[in-house]
């Protein structure tokens, strides 16, 4: 169901976070979710269009429709450096 007029549905409900310093560059995330994850020249991955933090983590707010593919990317990460936060409840989903 798509209804872009309702704030609740268009709101960026989740935030993906990448603990980039601990990424081992296996490329699983970029294979699973290429619209959101890309491999960088230094061999690690980046979140496409992310905000880079001072501690070198990356963050991107995403809509609910983009949760599943990023959860699959997080599940595919062998060193568990991809995290997803529910911004409304502050729950750390992974």
Least distance from ligand SF4 to the Cβ atom of residue 4, Å: 31
Least distance from ligand SF4 to the Cβ atom of residue 23, Å: 3
- Lay out the site mask for ligand SF4 across 35-64 (x = CB under 6 A, - = otherwise): ----------x-------------------
Q: Tell me the site size for ligand SF4, rule CB under 6 A.
A: 14
Report the alpha-carbon distance of residue 49 to residue 67 in Å, rounded: 16
Report the alpha-carbon distance of residue 91 to residue 93 in Å, rounded: 6
Nearest to 82 by CA among 90, 8, 67, 9: 67
**Tokens 């890309």 sit at which residue?**
38
Report the alpha-carbon distance of residue 58 to residue 70 in Å, rounded: 14
Least distance from ligand SF4 to the Cβ atom of residue 36, Å: 11
Among positions 13, 16, 28, 62, the unique one binding ligand SF4 when judged by CB under 6 A = 28
């Amino acid at each position: 169901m798509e209804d872009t007029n309702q704030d609740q549905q268009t709101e960026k409900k989740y935030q993906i976070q990448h603990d980039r310093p601990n990424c081992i560059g296996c490329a699983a995330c970029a294979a699973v979710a290429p619209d959101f994850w890309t491999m960088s020249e230094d061999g690690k991955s980046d979140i496409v269009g992310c905000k880079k933090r001072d501690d070198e983590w990356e963050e991107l707010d995403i809509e609910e429709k983009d949760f599943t593919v990023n959860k699959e990317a997080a599940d595919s990460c062998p060193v568990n450096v991809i995290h997803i936060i529910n911004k409304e409840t502050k729950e750390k989903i992974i």
